[in-house]
Amino acid sequence: MIRRLTCIKIRCCGAYHGCLQVSRDGGHVWEIQGPTPEGLIGLAASSRNADHLYAATQTGLLMSPDGGKHWRQANPERRPTSVVTATAGGDLYAFMPGLGLLHTTEESRDWQVLSDDWGKTICCTSPSPPTMGNGSLGWTNAAGFS
């Protein structure tokens, strides 16, 4: 069972038992939008457009322009993406093992590699209580240090 939850302002998206769920009131009422993208790893909701969602999947980074009803490639690299996050300022970050930490803005969607010297490091996120902000970012290397 995969559970994911991402909230920005009052727009939230989550995945539960293979269903993409969306809330427009900060998580009080949820509606099922449809199935999650295949191989879902993580979700992010846009702070700029309430209908834009981003999905990190086993086969790449996807974007939905319509609240999760349809998905398309957001990055030409078709490799596992372990993290996608959208900031309140409109920045997007994603991590692709073997490629590195990527950045773009929601306006340009021209992805740039910020750091490619991660070696065998995997980047992932962990949800946190609201008092701790949007979550934490973690990594581990081949030796097991983090």
CATH number at residue 116: 2.120.10.30
Residue-wise pLDDT tens digits, 56-109: 999 999 999 998 889 999 999 999 998 898 888 889 999 998 888 899 998 887
CB distance 74 to 61 below 8 Å = yes
When the pLDDT of each residue in the chain is averaged and rounded to a whole number, the result is 76
Asked, for residue 95, whether it belongs to a domain, the answer is yes
CB distance 84 to 73 below 8 Å = no
Residue-wise pLDDT tens digits, 125-143: 555 444 434 443 444 344 4
CB distance 44 to 61 below 8 Å = no
Give the helix/strand (H/E) hosting 12.
strand 11-16
Asked, for residue 59, whether it belongs to a domain, the answer is yes
- Total number of domains constituting the chain: 1
Please report where in the chains the tokens 């457009």 appear, as a residue: 49
User: How much is the pLDDT for 12?
Assistant: 67
Phi, psi of 132 (to 5 degrees): -100, 5
Asked, for residue 41, whether it belongs to a domain, the answer is yes
Q: How long is the chain?
A: 146
Q: Domain range for residue 29?
A: 3-140
Asked, for residue 122, whether it belongs to a domain, the answer is yes
Residue-wise pLDDT tens digits, 96-123: 988 888 999 988 879 999 877 666 655 6
Asked, for residue 51, whether it belongs to a domain, the answer is yes
What is the residue type of 145? F
pTM given for the model: 0.74
Asked, for residue 68, whether it belongs to a domain, the answer is yes
d(CA 89, CA 39): 28
Asked, for residue 103, whether it belongs to a domain, the answer is yes
**145 pLDDT higher than 50:** no
Q: Could you give the angle at the alpha carbon of 37 between the alpha carbons of 36 and 39, nearest 5°?
A: 110
- Tokens describing residue 16: 């539960």
User: How much is the pLDDT for 100?
Assistant: 86
What is the residue type of 16? Y
Q: Count Cβ atoms within 10 A of the Cβ of residue 68 and give its class: 0-12 exposed, 13-18 middle, 19 or more buried.
A: buried
User: How much is the pLDDT for 138?
Assistant: 42
Residue-wise pLDDT tens digits, 3-30: 554 544 445 677 778 888 887 777 788 8
Asked, for residue 146, whether it belongs to a domain, the answer is no
User: How much is the pLDDT for 134?
Assistant: 41
| Neighbour count for residue 138 (Cβ, 10 Å) | 12
